[in-house]
Amino acid sequence: MNKKKATIYNILFLVTSLGILIFLLKAPPETTVKLPRDKNHAVFYHMPKKEAEQHCTQCHGEEAGNPLPVGHPPKYRCLFCHKKTPSP
Ligand code: HEC
Ligand code: HEC
């Protein structure tokens, strides 16, 4: 590779990195609804996340009373997206 080409690649690399950085910094704040702080969900505040997540589908499964909305994103780790509501 000659010198001129290398310089062009370096500039391209810098511009791309800068672009990605700006994109990440401009990402909107998290808007996903948080885990409610009510009697249905109170127990999960005292449980490790992985353990708590095994109980969610009892009430939020296909046949349960509160199914997930249509088009819900992949649902493996509930609490990664639905964060606990910070204590008041
Ligand atoms: C005992 C039944 C029950 C269990 C278990 C349960 N939920 Fe719920 N959940 C409900 C009910 C009922 C509602 C709807 C009423 C409300 O908003 O509190 C709800 C609502 C929600 C909402 C929406 C809140 C809103 O503001 O619209 C989220 C998010 C949620 N649950 C997440 C979870 C997660 C994550 C788990 C597992 C850690 C879980 N739930 C376990 C009964 C349950
Ligand atoms: C990849 C992220 C992600 C994961 C994992 C996830 N959810 Fe969601 N969930 C969302 C998004 C996004 C919405 C759309 C509503 C919103 O803007 O919060 C939603 C909506 C919901 C709602 C309806 C809230 C309402 O008021 O309309 C419930 C209930 C819910 N999720 C429960 C769960 C449960 C239970 C699990 C685990 C089995 C789970 N979610 C896993 C991202 C996620």
CB-defined site of ligand 1, < 6 Å: 33, 35-36, 38, 40-41, 44, 52-53, 55-56, 58-60, 66, 78-79, 82
Beta bridge pairs of residue 84: 35
State the Cα–Cα distance between residues 50 and 78, nearest whole angstrom.
9
Amino acid at 27: A
Mean pLDDT value across residues 21-33? 86
Looking at residue 1, what is its pLDDT? Answer: 66
Q: DSSP 3-state assignment of 2?
A: coil
Domain boundaries, the chain: 3-81
Strand partners, 42: none
Q: Tokens 């009430």 — which residue?
A: 59
Alpha-carbon distance 35 to 76, whole Å? 15
> What integer pLDDT is reported at residue 9 of this predicted model?
96
Q: pTM of the entire structure?
A: 0.81
Q: What is the pLDDT of residues 59-77, one digit of tens each?
A: 998 888 899 998 998 888 9
Architecture of the domain delimited by 3-81: Orthogonal Bundle (1.10)
* pLDDT digit string, tens, across residues 28-61: 777 899 999 999 999 999 999 999 999 999 999 8
